[in-house]
Structure 1
Amino acid sequence: MPLEILTVPCLADNYAFLLHDPASGETALVDAPEAGPILKVLDDRGWRLNHVLFTHHHDDHVAGLPELQTHQPDLRTIGAAADANRLPPLDLAVTEDEPFEMMNHEVRVLDVPGHTVGHIAYWIPQGEAVFTADTLMALGCGRLFEGSAEMMWHSLCKIAALPDRTVVYSGHEYTQANARFAQTIEPDNVALQNRIAGIEASRAAGKPTVPSTLAEEKETNPFLRAHLNPVKAALSMEGDDDAAVFAEIRQRKDAF
């Protein structure tokens, strides 16, 4: 049976994700910005939380764990072995070269540094889902707080190599602002214009713009398009390395 995946708005603009496996009755959480909204969904659905997966150490992705543990003390915590010293105590420390099993599904770990040096993503091939948090966002990518532009470009290329039908669950509702910036890079991108219309309609209705599909991101997200000749030409960087073009786009977004 397929996983049921729910987007849970938290804090001002964060997202957490609940994954429920009907076959086993188990439920997993990707990131824990705050406990209240997560506990409410669990209660409404009658689900018991079993696993919590962390993408990176920032407070707005881990701070809800202690309250969740007061309701469910035996939660299994999962996160990057390389960043274990900055994460909550882990029951399972994972690495990119060792997939693990969770709720009848194989979970593959992707090292995707850039936003932080220990950032990871979780790809569930059978579920056609990837949880990218603050690496790849809807129409954007995370700021380079710890890593380099070259590091982040490599991380984004790793995600972009997944199947196009993969659903991308990212960590924040930044999509409208990202869309305004994307238009400055590719104002004539028809796919981008069409996507923006859908984004505006979703936000007007109070609906999240997350998740998206990887195919959508590759058609419209300027941070995934730094290798394309039309994007390089728009930036007058036709002869430049892909990572350098990405760095220019990231710098422009930082100043936008």
Structure 2
Amino acid sequence: MTIHIIPTLQDNYTYIVEVDDRAIIVDCGEAGPVIDFIKKNNINPSHILCTHHHGDHVDGLAALKKKYPDMQIYAPEKDIYRIPLADHGLKPDETISIDGIEIKCIETPGHTKNHLCFYLPELKSVFSGDALFSLGCGRLFEGDYEDLFYSMQKLKDLPDDTMIYCGHEYTKANCRFSLSVEPDNFRLLKKMKQVEELRANGQPTIPVSLGEEKSTNLFLLADSIEKIAQLRQLRDQF
């Protein structure tokens, strides 16, 4: 099994989990680059998982469904009405199996009220959409600070060797913000050098291990709702 990273739009990522002769797509805000990659690599997409309803994660669904009409689209059950192409609704915290892969649908409200992250134990990977980023978390559009705090706690409970595949390339900006809060944090200073080198070479900073994030991501380190609220407010103004 292989996970492919497809850059789309300005800074989004779509992911393709290739399993034998089939593939699962995670989020798609722009179909063109995804279809091109599928054609070039002779991939047979069978399913799409949608973390949430925002356009930069679902606007490519129509073109993909037209191109691959047998492909099944899965989305948060409570957001089906906002993702009309969805074939199946996913319940919060349920576990499903697609092409023999176990997928745990972790309820992570905050960025949106019904946001789901997809944890694949066999691949030691979580697709975190806009709930959790490297060194950051998603801006609150529908949820509140309590939602955000408890979503971070849920994700922290995953094994440290879990690799995080998030929805955007925000790591450099998040690192700059984190250093504005903790300018002498040696882990963050080291991380910034790594991130700058990767981006200078046109490489993604994703995936990143949860273990690393638990030592550097200020939002995962926040130990109270009040602390995470303070950080989120600072990040929104940064």
TM-score range, shorter chain: over 0.9
> Please, which of 138, 146, 150 is the counterpart of residue 142 of structure 1?
138
Match of 2:17 in 1: 19
TM-superposed CA distance for 1:97, in Å, is 4.1
Aligned AA (2:43): W
Aligned AA (1:54): C
TM-superposed CA distance for 1:190, in Å, is 1.8
Instruction: State yes or no: 1:255 paired with 2:237.
Output: yes
Rounded Cα–Cα distance in structure 2 between residues aligned with 1:128 and 1:214? 10
> Please, which of 212, 217, 220 is the counterpart of residue 216 of structure 2?
220
Match of 2:8 in 1: 10
Rounded Cα–Cα distance in structure 2 between residues aligned with 1:193 and 1:70? 46
TM-score (norm 2): 0.97
TM-superposed CA distance for 1:186, in Å, is 2.0
The one-character-per-residue Cα deviations of 1:78-98 (angstroms, maximum 9, x if unpaired) are 011122111233222111343
Aligned AA (1:64): G
Rounded Cα–Cα distance in structure 1 between residues aligned with 2:145 and 2:40? 42
Match of 2:28 in 1: 32
TM-score (norm 1): 0.91
Match of 1:59 in 2: 55
Rounded Cα–Cα distance in structure 2 between residues aligned with 1:214 and 1:112? 16
Please say if residues 61 and 85 of structure 2, whose CA atoms lie closer than 8 Å, have aligned partners that are also in contact: no
Rounded Cα–Cα distance in structure 1 between residues aligned with 2:213 and 2:2? 22
1:85 aligns to what SS in structure 2? helix
Calculate percent identity across the aligned residue pairs. Answer: 40
Aligned AA (1:8): I
Please say if residues 185 and 222 of structure 1, whose CA atoms lie closer than 8 Å, have aligned partners that are also in contact: no
Which 4+ stretches in 1 moved above 4 angstroms?
Answer: none
What do you get for the CA RMSD once the two structures are aligned? Answer: 1.0
Match of 2:104 in 1: 108
The one-character-per-residue Cα deviations of 1:183-230 (angstroms, maximum 9, x if unpaired) are 122222222221111100000001111111111111111111112xxx
Larger Rg: 1
Which segments of 5 or more consecutive residues in structure 1 lack a partner in the other structure? 228-241
Match of 1:231 in 2: none
Please say if residues 62 and 88 of structure 1, whose CA atoms lie closer than 8 Å, have aligned partners that are also in contact: no
Match of 1:181 in 2: 177
